[in-house]
Structure 1
């Protein structure tokens, strides 16, 4: 009798779990319609983000600098101050997202607002998991702020052209983030001690 109850209890638990999961599923995340990559280049200040293991050492002054390379790709330089006052720096590369086989493009560019970024050595660029999605999901018309995430909403960054963000801009960003299904309680604020 116990053997029959266990599968029944397990099936019921799975069914209830599936019902609650489907009730809370979010619509697929949408990126902005397009990004003028030339306007997107330059320095961005990280205002807030979802904590992650690769930025755990950062305590302040987190920035991202984007520069167009001769190859048409974008150099990404992320840096921040650590608790010891040292500067931590990571250099990567971004490219427009498009279907690829062994790193070779085989289809059209998906959107200028959907990029892929890697911080692994270039020699590993052909490995599929090396490139991570980088989606611009909010962007001010004048490019004064941007919000970046990825399809699963596990990562999130709020960026600004200045070390501080106007209160009305932050309120607009937060309101849209809630509509997009992000958990605002997970956001960690990023202080800036240096001025531009």
Structure 2
């Protein structure tokens, strides 16, 4: 049995590929917030460099397994060094790997399911919607537009199935998107504080 971990200061920023996620995270980093980099992109770069097989267009299942394990390790490492107060932003979480497994019709093991149910990020997940005008492919991103839209839909379903609430980030400038995320977190913090005070 995997022990329960709840980290309300761990915020996921996710969405389909090419939706401005990394740009938003870089803006939050510029504003002095801690950012946890995306596992998938780093894994792909590493495998391409080393002629590895753990690639989504080579060995999907191996890619899925390594990506999930590294996401869990990343969560655990950040938790050890977290002060549990200031928001920490994750470029995707291990539930994204579960979404990927569903997309490729691969097995979601009991172990994966147990981590998803027991190791919790903040219940509010910031999701960036498909945005055709800014979408571009590159060496690590090869999905067509149809896949991008399907990924967004499946990702929303996956997070909701595990009890998360989707907060859709508007299609605006990077500065406005960062403002939206931080203002939502602050407003939610105030509401929770008031609610707790009422129940004392």
What TM-score do the two structures reach when normalised by structure 2?
0.28
Relative contact order (alpha carbons < 8 A, sep ≥ 6): 1 or 2 greater?
Answer: 2
Would you tell me which structure has more strand in proportion to its own residues? 1
What TM-score do the two structures reach when normalised by structure 1?
0.28
